[in-house]
Amino acid sequence: MDRFAAGRAMPACRVMGIVNVTPDSFSDGSRFLQHEDALAHARRLVAEGADWLDVGGESTRPGAAPVPLDEELRRVIPLIRAICEDPAIAVPVSVDTSKPEVMRAAIEAGAAMINDINALREPGAVEVCAEAGIPVCLMHMQGQPRTMQQSPGYGDVVTEVSAFLRERVGVCEAAGIARHDIVIDPGFGFGKTPEHNLALLKHLGVLVDTGYPVLAGLSRKSLFQAVLGAPLEERLTGSVTAALVAAQKGAAFVRVHDVKETCDALRVWQAIESEAIAAF
């Protein structure tokens, strides 16, 4: 059985739809600031085929500034509660946060997974997750969002990222987080040059071979500016292509803005692999 599946026909790779509640969100602007808009957006992503929703109240794109605790709580907790109570949204919710207090409140509000770009390095974060007994996504990041793109450097990026994730997995398991509750993520765009991101995607199999489910977040990132010269509003094809490549290399989750287009690509791939047409 697949404990990350949403309870309906299971795709090989789960699609996690992004629900940002940040005034400076890097691609959705301030449109989803309002609670009702965010809820409507969440419903739409589910109707488009999302298996999970990832709710975040702090932008972590390059250059973004930290958000105070009370502001982050105010942005995400009522929304998580509303999503979890909405009968039209029958998919699990993850919360994109690094703060243990937000993790605790989100779990209480119904969150089913903690997605932490800081890999639970904030004091107290590992303990909150271990006590809750829910899945966690551990992501690699070099530096901090505000400055991480100033001069990213590695010996061998694939080796260093996988060593970091192995170390964090060890800390989490030692603290009592179950092995089957751990997801790992190379952190595309987090303290990485375009070449580092390409190497991590090409060699995603190194992470997949650890046996831990891998999450890949490439959606609308500046990698596509580097590869295609594409501004934010022209990164759809690049994003869908990269998500499909990640899925083909064994990613268990892709975290995306464009749920419908990503699901279409995955379904075409699935049809090819199974030589069968699935019902709509």
Q: E strands, 100-176, where?
A: 113-116, 136-139
Longest dimension (CA), the chain: 51
Whose Cβ is closer to ligand PT1: residue 225's or residue 270's?
225
How far is 103 from 4, CA to CA, in rounded Å? 19
| Nearest distance from C-beta of residue 80 to ligand PT1, angstroms | 16
Site for ligand PT1 in 50-109 (CB under 6 A): 60-62, 96
Whose Cβ is closer to ligand PT1: residue 222's or residue 262's?
222
| Lookup result for tokens 């808009």 | 37
- Nearest of 279, 255, 275, 219 to residue 113 by alpha carbon: 255
Determine which one of 104, 192, 221, 249 is catalytic: 221
Q: Of residues 4, 164, 188, 212, which one binds ligand PT1 by CB under 6 A?
A: 188
Q: Is 217 in the site for ligand PT1 (CB under 6 A)?
A: yes
How far is 112 from 252, CA to CA, in rounded Å? 16
Active site (annotated) includes residue 221 = yes
| Nearest distance from C-beta of residue 105 to ligand PT1, angstroms | 19
How far is 207 from 195, CA to CA, in rounded Å? 18
| Nearest distance from C-beta of residue 87 to ligand PT1, angstroms | 27
Exposure string (b/e) for 126-148, b if CB count within 10 Å is 16 or more?
Answer: bbbbbebebbbbbbbbbeebeeb
Whose Cβ is closer to ligand PT1: residue 36's or residue 212's?
212
Stretches 122-130, 156-164, 165-173, 213-221: which one binds ligand PT1 (CB under 6 A)? 213-221
Active site (annotated) includes residue 249 = no
Which H or E run includes 16?
strand 14-20
| Nearest distance from C-beta of residue 201 to ligand PT1, angstroms | 11
Q: Is 255 in the site for ligand PT1 (CB under 6 A)?
A: yes
Q: Is 238 in the site for ligand PT1 (CB under 6 A)?
A: no
Q: Is 187 in the site for ligand PT1 (CB under 6 A)?
A: yes
How far is 57 from 47, CA to CA, in rounded Å? 22
- Nearest of 279, 232, 240 to residue 262 by alpha carbon: 240
Q: Of residues 4, 164, 190, 212, which one binds ligand PT1 by CB under 6 A?
A: 190
Tokens at 246, concatenated? 């990640």
Q: Of residues 111, 215, 242, 254, which one binds ligand PT1 by CB under 6 A?
A: 215
Q: Of residues 11, 57, 189, 238, which one binds ligand PT1 by CB under 6 A?
A: 189
| Nearest distance from C-beta of residue 119 to ligand PT1, angstroms | 10
Q: Is 212 in the site for ligand PT1 (CB under 6 A)?
A: no
| Lookup result for tokens 């709580």 | 73
How far is 249 from 269, CA to CA, in rounded Å? 12
Tokens at 123, concatenated? 């004091």
Catalytic site positions: 221, 255
Q: What residues line the site for ligand PT1 (CB under 6 A)?
A: 26, 60-62, 96, 115, 117, 137, 139, 185, 187-190, 215, 217, 221-222, 255
